[in-house]
Amino acid sequence: MLRDHFHLPLDENGNPLIYFCGNSLGLQPRAAAEQLQRDLTSWQQRGVEGWWEGPEGGWLGYHRRLQEALADIVGAQVAEVVATNALTVNLHLLMVSFFRPAGRRCKILMESGAFPSDQHAVHAQLRFHGLDPAECLIEVRPREGEAMIATEDIVAAIEAAGDTLALVLWTGVQYYSGQFFDLGRIAAAGRAVGARVGFDLAHAIGNVPLELHRWGCDFAVWCNYKYLNGGPGAPGGLFVHERHAEDESLPRFAGWWGHRESDRFAMRPEFRPEYGAAGWQVSTVPVLGLAPLLAGLPLFARAGGMQALRDRSIELTAALYEQLQYVPGVRLLTGADPAQRGAQLSVYVPGQRPELERQLSERGLVCDYRQDNLDGSGGGVLRLAPAPLYNTLEEVMRVGELLAEVL
């Protein structure tokens, strides 16, 4: 079983906890320590020569060892992806290149209630260009009384913005509701009005099948520590479509690791970007930070690829959805349609529940609880994320029972 390739958190009696928090931090692959130790040993034995000598030819091309697996997971060509920097850093770097307000075309469109780091970055970029977010930020929200955002409403908002729209920045899976968006339609709508299109895939990568190259978005960013199990604070990743691979006219905040490798060590002041996404790297590749990701990525191929994991995920969330129907008083925010959700169900629990997360944890369930007064009762939202790489149907069945017990 793939589950056996992960370290499972244990209770005080040595029994595995039900870990439904892979949407926040994935579990540690058992191979991570071995890979990290290999790189530590190379550092110990070779020092600086480890950049050119040792396993796989040294660390100089460390990022290339990750590209093929990442490309398979996001539906991209190998040169279109790279593991580098952190998510919000990458978002800023790519907005430097792809948010270029000019005249009427100065607005950004995103979902209302996007993850705070995205909101912070967008507000900062608008102000950097001397623009007022109150005037230049378009936010699309769910219809009254609903938690999901209709694709038709997103497309309609893009079309209504028309030639005032400079950038569509959308999330792959909404962190709060668990909604999986129709990214292909969103990309097509954005490009049809002449806007650039970028995706935040923090909660989507390793969770749902993606086809970034075919969809034709300009860029995408993600973190590697959720469903990709890269470890706490692991470096993130980015995608840049191949049509921009050799476009040196694009403005960018350059750094030397993005300079073409062929003459990087010539130490010249002129910046010549590496081909493809690698040209948006900034600082030296964080070898020790990427080691757990390098160890965990092969498990996706071993599982049969993203479609096989998606099939398993749909099975798990369907069973969980059914279980939650029998828990009195709760309201599911994530929709019933499997095509519109990833490996997460968000459920609203009414009433004052400050101890809910602790009570569930004491019963062996690790999940995320966020206070949110949706109906005036002072309730909160549980985010339950059965990850198909390591969670089981038996755990899903137990979760409904535990929640009913506590409530």
Please state the domain extents for the chain.
Answer: 2-20+305-406, 48-301
| Per-residue CA distances from 273 to 104, 252, 256, 311, 363 (Å) | 31, 10, 9, 39, 53
Could you give the dihedral angle defined by the CA atoms of residues 383, 389, 392 and 397, in that order, rounded to the nearest 10 degrees?
A: 20
What torsion do the CA atoms of 177, 183, 188, 190 make, to the nearest 10 degrees? 50
The C-alpha atoms of residue 357 and residue 322 are separated, in whole angstroms, by 21
DSSP H or E stretch at residue 137? strand 137-140
Are residues 341 and 180 in contact, defined by beta-carbon separation less than 8 angstroms?
A: yes
Q: What is the pLDDT along the chain (407 residues), one digit of tens a residue?
A: 799 999 999 999 999 999 999 999 999 999 999 999 999 999 999 999 999 998 888 999 999 999 999 999 999 999 999 999 999 999 999 999 999 999 999 999 999 999 999 999 999 999 999 999 999 999 999 999 899 999 999 999 999 999 999 999 999 999 999 999 999 999 999 999 999 999 999 999 999 999 999 999 999 999 999 999 999 999 999 999 999 999 999 999 999 999 999 999 899 999 999 999 999 999 999 999 999 999 999 999 999 999 999 999 999 999 999 999 889 889 999 999 999 999 999 999 988 788 888 999 999 999 999 888 777 777 889 999 999 999 999 999 999 999 999 98
Give SS3 for 106. Answer: coil
- Which pLDDT value is given to residue 351? 84
Is residue 259 a contact partner of residue 273, using CB atoms and an 8 Å limit?
Answer: yes
Amino acid (1-letter code) at residue 94: L
pTM of the full structure: 0.96
- Between the CA of residue 77 and those of 58, 100, 142, 197, 247, what are the distances in Å? 24, 26, 34, 18, 17
Residue 199 has a pLDDT of 98
8 A C-beta contact, residue 88 and residue 121: yes
Kindly give, in sequence order, each residue whose CB lies less than 8 Å from that of residue 289, ignoring residues fewer than 6 positions away.
231, 233, 234, 235
Hey, is 78 helix, strand or coil?
A: helix
Q: At a CB cut-off of 8 Å and minimum separation 6, what does 109 contact?
A: 137, 138, 139, 140, 157, 158, 161, 165, 167, 168, 169, 170, 190, 195
What's the pLDDT at 407? 87
DSSP E strands: which ranges in 28-130? 28-29, 81-83, 107-111
- Phi, psi for residue 21 in degrees, rounded to 5: -125, 25
Structure tokens at 255: 């750094």
The phi, psi pair for 271, rounded to 5°, reads: -95, 125
CATH assignment of 2-20+305-406? 3.90.1150.10
Query: 157, 156, 108: which is closest to 128 by C-alpha?
Result: 108
The CATH number of domain 48-301 is 3.40.190.80: no
Residue 29 to residue 228: CA distance in whole angstroms: 10
